[in-house]
């Protein structure tokens, strides 16, 4: 099996993973990527009412920090230099997303954030997810669901793939009949 075959297989695995998320998680991931990647007019495509406009604007403002955050991803597993600025910002943005109650699992959160920030962020995602999900701004019942979704394997993984994600879902408008 060549590199192209392996890459294709991994892309198919990413597509299958995305298909396994709830409809709400899929839509939130698509919307979030539209906002973060500046696709089309995210405000127009995703706004149905003033509440949508408010949450999209809030997400847009938070996601403006992603470029800076990518540059802050700590590379050294042993050192803690710079971890507070990186984790503090990641925790705040993560909490904002989790508070919208559209992501129900660590898997969906990880899927989104590895696309927002790249493969290098993977080792930091369990800590950011746990910290954000445990904040008092998240409803207690919601905290329980989120924290229980993080498997022991993900929380204690000795290593994460360095392969960049290949599949970036996006909203596709249905054609008029």
Q: Provide the 8-state DSSP code for 159.
A: -
Each residue's pLDDT tens digit, 6-46: 677 889 999 999 999 999 999 999 999 999 988 767 667 78
Domain extents for the chain?
3-155
* Structure tokens given for 165: 């994600």
Q: What is the 3 state secondary structure string of 20-45?
A: CCCHHHHHHHHHHHHHHCCCCCHHHH
- Which pTM value belongs to this model? 0.90
Q: pLDDT digit string (tens) for 116-164?
A: 999 999 999 999 999 999 999 999 999 999 999 999 999 999 889 999 9
Alpha helices in the chain (DSSP H): 3-19, 23-36, 42-46, 50-63, 66-72, 83-99, 106-117, 125-133, 140-148, 152-155
């Amino acid at each position: 099996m060549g590199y192209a075959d392996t890459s294709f297989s991994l892309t198919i695995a990413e597509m299958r993973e995305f298909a396994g998320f709830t409809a709400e998680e899929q839509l939130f991931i698509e919307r979030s990527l539209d906002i973060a990647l500046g696709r089309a007019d995210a405000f127009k495509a995703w706004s149905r009412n003033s509440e949508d406009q408010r949450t999209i604007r809030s997400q847009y403002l938070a996601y403006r920090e992603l470029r800076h955050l990518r540059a802050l991803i700590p590379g050294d597993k042993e050192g803690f230099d710079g971890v507070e600025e990186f984790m503090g910002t990641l925790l705040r943005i993560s909490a904002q997303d989790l508070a919208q109650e559209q992501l129900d699992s660590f898997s969906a959160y990880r899927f989104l954030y590895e696309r927002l920030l790249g493969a290098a962020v993977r080792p930091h995602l369990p800590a950011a997810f746990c910290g954000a999900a445990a904040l008092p701004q998240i409803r207690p019942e919601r905290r329980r669901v989120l924290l229980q979704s993080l498997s022991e394997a993900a929380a204690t993984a000795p290593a994460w793939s360095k392969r960049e994600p290949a599949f970036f879902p996006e909203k596709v408008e249905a054609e008029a009949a």
